[in-house]
Chains A and B, each alone.
Chain A
């Protein structure tokens, strides 16, 4: 069973389109994240949700909107896609921070290519 699963794995789309990336975790974790791997291979946090509540919202364009229907899901919707949005997006989850071991578990990543 995949602990953190993202779909799709690859996404090729045209500029101006709206697309969504889905993420689901079956670990019972309270916290989920979206990270973007930029052109320099850095992993940069975009959003974090704790029990469906947004707790981290880094400086990303408001064309990016996370949606958490329940604590096992955190989807990323992107409006009006631009060439610069091409990147690999990683979803992750972690247990509540009050627990001792709070390593994050990552999905396999979604490679988004905007043409």
Chain B
């Protein structure tokens, strides 16, 4: 059973601050690492899927990196805005499509 851990559990920042979260996962039997953004009362939406060690992906002000050898991924948000407030989930994927989710990091951005 995979154990995916995210930190911090929650984060409160001011508008304009840059922030980052961590996702750690077992590096054995690894296939892909997913990041999802989950707003209250909505369904999780995919941000990134990364597979290769050293992968870096970017979407607007949000970017992510992946280290499969040591089993961690970082998600960065540059210049946080109130609309970035959400829960950010990471999930580690085994071959065969099983996604195991972390508990998420709750981000609240104050204007």
User: Which B-chain residue is minimally distant from A50 (CB atoms)?
Assistant: B97
A9: min CB distance to chain B, Å: 10
User: Which B-chain residue is minimally distant from A59 (CB atoms)?
Assistant: B1
Question: Is B42 touching A108 in the complex (CB atoms < 8 A)?
Answer: yes
* CA distance in complex: A104, B87 (Å): 16
B40-80 CB mask vs A (1 if < 8 Å, else 0) is 00111110010100000000000000000000000000000
Interface residues of A in 34-52 (CB under 8 A from B): 35, 40-45, 48, 50
Indicate which residue in A45, A94, A100, A101 contacts B100 across the interface (CB closer than 8 Å). A45
Question: Is B96 touching A55 in the complex (CB atoms < 8 A)?
Answer: yes
Mostly, the B contact residues are strand
B7-47 CB mask vs A (1 if < 8 Å, else 0) is 00000000000000000000000011010100000111110
A73-102 CB mask vs B (1 if < 8 Å, else 0) is 000000000000000001000100100111
List chain A residues, Cβ under 8 A from B103: 40-42
B106: min CB distance to chain A, Å: 9
* CA distance in complex: A84, B36 (Å): 27
A35: min CB distance to chain B, Å: 8
Indicate which residue in A33, A40, A103 contacts B49 across the interface (CB closer than 8 Å). A103
Interface size on B, residues (CB 8 A): 24
Q: Is B101 interfacial (CB 8 A cutoff)?
A: yes
B38: min CB distance to chain A, Å: 9
Question: Is A97 touching B97 in the complex (CB atoms < 8 A)?
Answer: yes
Q: Is A109 interfacial (CB 8 A cutoff)?
A: yes
Q: Which 9 A-B pairs have the closest CB atoms?
A: A103-B46, A106-B43, A43-B101, A97-B97, A106-B44, A103-B49, A108-B43, A31-B97, A56-B98
Interface on B for A, CB 8 Å cutoff?
31-32, 34, 36, 42-46, 49, 51, 87, 89, 91, 93, 95-101, 103-104
Given A97-B95, A103-B49, A104-B44, 15 other A-B contacts at CB below 8 A?
A31-B97, A40-B103, A43-B101, A44-B101, A50-B97, A56-B96, A90-B43, A97-B97, A102-B32, A102-B93, A102-B97, A103-B34, A103-B36, A104-B34, A106-B45
